[in-house]
Structure 1
Amino acid sequence: MPVSIVLASYPPRGWARLVTRISRINKDIRGVPGFVEGRVFGTGNLRPPIGGAPVFRRWALFTVFESDEALKEFEQSHSMEMFTDRAREVWRASLRPTRVGRGTWRGWRPEVDPIPHDDAEPVLSMTYSRVRTRYVPSFLMNNKRVVDEQTDDDGLIAQLGIADDFTATSTLSIWRSQADLVDFAYRKSPAHKAVIKPSLTKWQTQNFSARFRMVESSGTWDGRDPAAAARLAAEELRRPGTHHS
């Protein structure tokens, strides 16, 4: 089942115009043949002291379709045109789910690609959660520790916060390899280990996580294609004499 992520960055007037169109885009995409699920997401910088701050100039469109043909038709649709209109930078990636850690996103639980995700292969990770209001300060403070550790990890290529409504606290991250992601999440990160149990049992009302293979990508995100950067980094790591950091 094909999945698409589109990141678009706008000048001030461009993103202000997009905000007035979000409800219409979210409604119109549901009428596209082959549509399964999808939403416009706001994005955030995960590095400020509080652990997250909105980035109004950048927005994301995450969609799921029944077939590659349906996705290609959507890419030429008026809904996509409305989303990317006036954008000064656009990055697109076609994805295939390779692992679902837990939960669902708006009722959608991906069908996993039958081709296993190789440990040396680049990966895009998505987490999606809704945090109980009383625990938002604790979640943000502890999540900031995780982000700080991620930022220092050689395997991390790109990351940003995403939210499809005001109660969601979610992330997208791209890693040099699945091995890097697993190593960080389950072995190297004390902060991640400390935050994961209360997140799942106490702080959150909903939690979804999945890994995706990046099949195709085009355009740029902050001046580069992070999927291409991840592939290059993975290739360098596989060269003789190169050791995993």
Structure 2
Amino acid sequence: MSIFSYHLVKTSALSGLKAMVTPPTRDRVPGLIHAECMTGMVLGSPVFSFSRMLIGQLVLFAQWEDEASLDHFLANDSVGKIFANGWHVRLVLARQWGSFTKFDIPKDIAEIDLSDSPVVAVTVARMKLLEVPRFIRWGRPVEKLVRDHPGVLLSLASIRLPRTVSTFSIWRSQKEMTDMVRGHSDVPRPKRHLNAMQERNRKDFHFEFTTLRFKVIAEFGEWKGKRYLTWD
């Protein structure tokens, strides 16, 4: 059974450049199905700011044939060793909306009970460049909604120029996440996400877009001096 992983690491400019210039690919890394290598962003930050694109913060979102392939990558690959110094979670796919051609998503996803565990949500999109200003206008309020939501344990965004954007969030519960999506959260301006999705349906911002929901099976390392999940 394939698994996904999401990695965060702070690194030097040289190591960051190496990872971005020669990202892991399935032709080079045994057992890798697909990976998106990006730089981190702070959700909701001003468009023109140093926090909008964090050069020294690398993000890797990847799908693997199995955990052994991921372990081999972290232990033996030159880029993998960079990410081995950071934090990551291993994930099992629970649901998908939309599509993204390079990931291998089965048509019939096995049902997973998410009622009593934290939930991870990942979005990945390829932007239409002419739609970027409109996307920022509608997207930044949603970023702030997710960033400040009381049900979120960790949230961030990432980018790979010129057109790949992604978001990542860990939620305390599936209900808190779905309430946010539907505009039912007890927060200021709760319908920001719902309104942005309606605008996207009216006129799409993207060539490709998918939202993926996961169950976390393991957490490794620390991010900003802490772990976000507790395991027996």
What's the TM-score once normalised by structure 2's chain length? 0.84
**Residue 39 in structure 1 maps to residue 36 in structure 2:** yes
Letter in 2 for 1:41: M
- Contact 2:41-2:53 within 8 A present in 1 as well: yes
Letter in 2 for 1:198: E
- Superposed CA RMSD: 2.5
Aligned-pair identity (%):
19
- Contact 1:96-1:214 within 8 A present in 2 as well: yes
Decide whether aligned partners of structure 1 residues 73 and 119 sit closer, same or farther in structure 2, where only a CA change above 3 A counts. same
Letter in 1 for 2:33: V
- What 5-or-longer segments of structure 2 have no aligned partner? 185-189
**Residue 197 in structure 1 maps to residue 193 in structure 2:** no
Residues 193-242 of structure 1: CA deviation (Å, up to 9, x unaligned):
111122244222211110111100021112212234xx89xxxxxxxxxx
**Count of aligned pairs:** 222
Residue range with higher mean Cα deviation, 18-27 or 134-143: 18-27
Distance 1:224 1:197 in 2: 36
2:171 matched to which residue of 1?
175
Equivalent runs, 1:73-112 vs 2, <5 Å: 73-84=72-83, 90-104=86-100, 106-111=101-106
2:55 matched to which residue of 1?
56
Question: Which segments of structure 1 move beyond 4 Å, counting only runs of 4 or more?
Answer: none
Distance 2:225 2:159 in 1: 23
Distance 2:211 2:104 in 1: 10
Give the drift of 1:82: 4.5
Q: What SS class does the counterpart of residue 229 from structure 2 fall into? A: helix
1:227 matched to which residue of 2?
229
1:242 matched to which residue of 2?
none
Residue range with higher mean Cα deviation, 130-139 or 206-215: 130-139
**Residue 2 in structure 1 maps to residue 11 in structure 2:** no
Distance 1:78 1:49 in 2: 35
1:206 matched to which residue of 2?
208
Give the drift of 1:151: 3.0
Decide whether aligned partners of structure 1 residues 61 and 150 sit closer, same or farther in structure 2, where only a CA change above 3 A counts. closer
2:182 matched to which residue of 1?
186
- What 5-or-longer segments of structure 1 have no aligned partner? 233-245
Distance 2:181 2:94 in 1: 17
